[in-house]
Amino acid sequence: YIVPMVQAKQEAGGCTFFQDGLCELHAAGLKPTEGRLSHHTITMENLKFGMSLSWNVAKEWLDERNFDTIREIVRIMGK
């Protein structure tokens, strides 16, 4: 099931912001909701897709009540 959404660059080892065991967003004073709630220890072996944070965040991109906000995010990222 494909959900069109904007995301940070995907890395082979996981989150692009997870460097040397730390989230580099903290030093920048940032912490997106998905990052705040995620656990870097989730693997394919212990993932429950329907309950996963990624799926629940992705579902928000499908809710038409959020379309105006999504358009604004895409506009800003396109600059």
DSSP secondary structure of 44-76: TTT--GGG-HHHHHHHHHH-GGGHHHHHHHHHH
**Confidence (pLDDT) at 65:** 95
Q: How many angstroms separate the CA atoms of 74 and 2, rounded? A: 18
Instruction: For residue range 4-19, list pLDDT tens digits in order.
Output: 766 677 777 777 788 8
Q: How many angstroms separate the CA atoms of 51 and 39, rounded? A: 13
In the predicted structure, residue 40 carries a pLDDT above the cut 70? no
How many CB atoms are located within 10 Å of the residue 9 CB? Answer: 7
Q: How many angstroms separate the CA atoms of 51 and 79, rounded? A: 34
Instruction: For residue range 48-79, list pLDDT tens digits in order.
Output: 767 677 778 888 888 999 999 888 877 876 76
